[in-house]
Amino acid sequence: MGKLIPLSLRVAYLNLLRNRRRSLLSVFIITIAVFALTCAGGFGLYTYDSLKESTARDTGHITVSQPGFFEQDEDTPLENGLSDAQAISKLILANEEVRGVQPRIEFTGLISNGTKSTIFVGSGVNDREFDMKGPFLDVRAGKTLSSIHSSRYNPAEPEVMLGVELAKNLKVAVGDWVTLLATTSDGALNAFDFKVQGIYSTGVPELDKRQLYLHIQSAQELLVSSKVSTLSVFLFETEKTAQIQSWISHQLSNVVLEQPIELTPWQDRAFFYTKVKDLYDRIFGIMGAVMALVVFVALFNTMTMSVTERTREIGTLSALGTYPSDIVYGFVREAGLLALIGALVGGFLSAATSALLFVVDIQMPPPPGRSDGYPLNVYFSFELLAICAVGVIAICISAAWLSARKGVNKPITEALAYV
């Protein structure tokens, strides 16, 4: 077996064994650094991925609206709404990468239980919205909105879903009736009674105090308009957002519409995602720099001690005609080997931790502004491990090169006389 390994590598390995405790300590430090960086990075990747998916599920991957919809306030409901929603939906649904197109009406008004009134933020959606978004709502009581085409749906009993805090504030439960009062699109006041179909939590207390869902047809009747605020386009794969956006843009440019159209990808609406990513990137950047410094100092110390202890050996190798650069490479190989072993062990521990966290349910406390915690997961990424390993190897090699270069610059006669 030993004969299959190149002599240079075997010598590097055997040199590391000359002071096992010191080599083990170096490997341990490198392992901790790689483990910490890959775990922290893996947690970041999981967080980014979760927030990305949650944002894309919430807003849709692409939002179709009038230009400037998100920047301009409406004087009356649906003033900036879309008139051609059905035609646009049909056109977009022709693409097989599109999972669905959901119309939405965003409006505000007053909700009353007969004795008490409060402000609400309403979303008119169709019943497929809840299937499309996945388990983004925690339904605490009752059910989600029924399909208006279903036999169970009674048009005489229009449905509404209330945020848990809003329901609590109004002291209503599933099956109770509430009245929604809103300004119509032409500025008049209109009110309808709705039966509470479900009570849910979004995980954000501020939203739970104000938010409600109702059928888009009910919202259109309440607001006396056939328009919708936006169309949310849901895709099968988030990565194809830019490609499909370009395709939709091209398709829409070939048809005549009543209004100009703007397409907004999910990233432009993902304010929380962007801020969290910026924050985490900086935290991990600083952590990486600190780890790099620790590894550098540890390895520089190890290699300097090793070079000092082997000064006479360096002198012998030089006397025999070994070039200084070859002697330096010998030490660099040793540091590279330490780094490689440390990176492999660190990577293995990181992978094991990642696997363990998929099995063991550890809950993180709720983030600021949220009411629910989330499971602690760490993604294991080979790409991240490769980046960490290359970084650590580069740091170790630099440390070894610096310390060994100093050692080989000593005159041969002095090195040979070193005791």
Partner 1 sequence: MLTFSQIFKEYQLGQQKVTALKGVDGEIAQGEMVALCGPSGSGKSTLLNVLGLLDMDYQGRVEIGGVPYPKNPRLAAQYRRSQFGFVFQRFNLIPVMTAWENVAYPLMLNGDSLAQQRAKAYEILEQVGLAEFADHRPDNLSGGQQQRVAIARALVHSPQLVIADEPTASLDSHTANVVIELMKTLGHSLGTTFIVATHDPRMSVQCDRTIELVDGQMHKGQMKWAS
Name the site residues for partner 1 (rule: CB under 8 A): 7, 11, 14-15, 18, 312-313, 315-324, 411-413, 416
Q: Any idea what DSSP says for residue 228?
A: B
CA distance 331 to 30: 17
Nearer to partner 1 among residue 7 and residue 359 (C-beta):
7
Residue 68: is it exposed, middle or buried by C-beta count within 10 angstroms (0-12/13-18/19+)? exposed
Q: Least distance to partner 1 from the beta carbon of 45, Å? A: 42
Nearer to partner 1 among residue 113 and residue 316 (C-beta):
316
Residue 266 CB neighbour total at 10 angstroms: 24
Taking the chain, what is the end-to-end CA distance rounded to the nearest angstrom?
35
Q: Least distance to partner 1 from the beta carbon of 57, Å? A: 60
- Supply 246's token pair: 């370009």
Residue 224 CB neighbour total at 10 angstroms: 15
Nearer to partner 1 among residue 216 and residue 317 (C-beta):
317
Q: Least distance to partner 1 from the beta carbon of 11, Å? A: 5
What's the residue count for the chain?
419
- Supply 410's token pair: 């000593």
Q: Least distance to partner 1 from the beta carbon of 327, Å? A: 11
Q: Least distance to partner 1 from the beta carbon of 298, Å? A: 23
Nearer to partner 1 among residue 174 and residue 412 (C-beta):
412
Nearer to partner 1 among residue 139 and residue 412 (C-beta):
412
Residue 3 CB neighbour total at 10 angstroms: 6
- Under 8 Å between Cβ of 245 and 265: yes
Q: Least distance to partner 1 from the beta carbon of 20, Å? A: 13
Nearer to partner 1 among residue 97 and residue 313 (C-beta):
313
Q: Least distance to partner 1 from the beta carbon of 294, Å? A: 29
CA distance 6 to 8: 6
Nearer to partner 1 among residue 6 and residue 368 (C-beta):
6
Q: Coil, strand or helix: which one is 112?
A: strand
- Under 8 Å between Cβ of 198 and 215: no
Return the H-helix or E-strand segment holding 317. helix 311-319
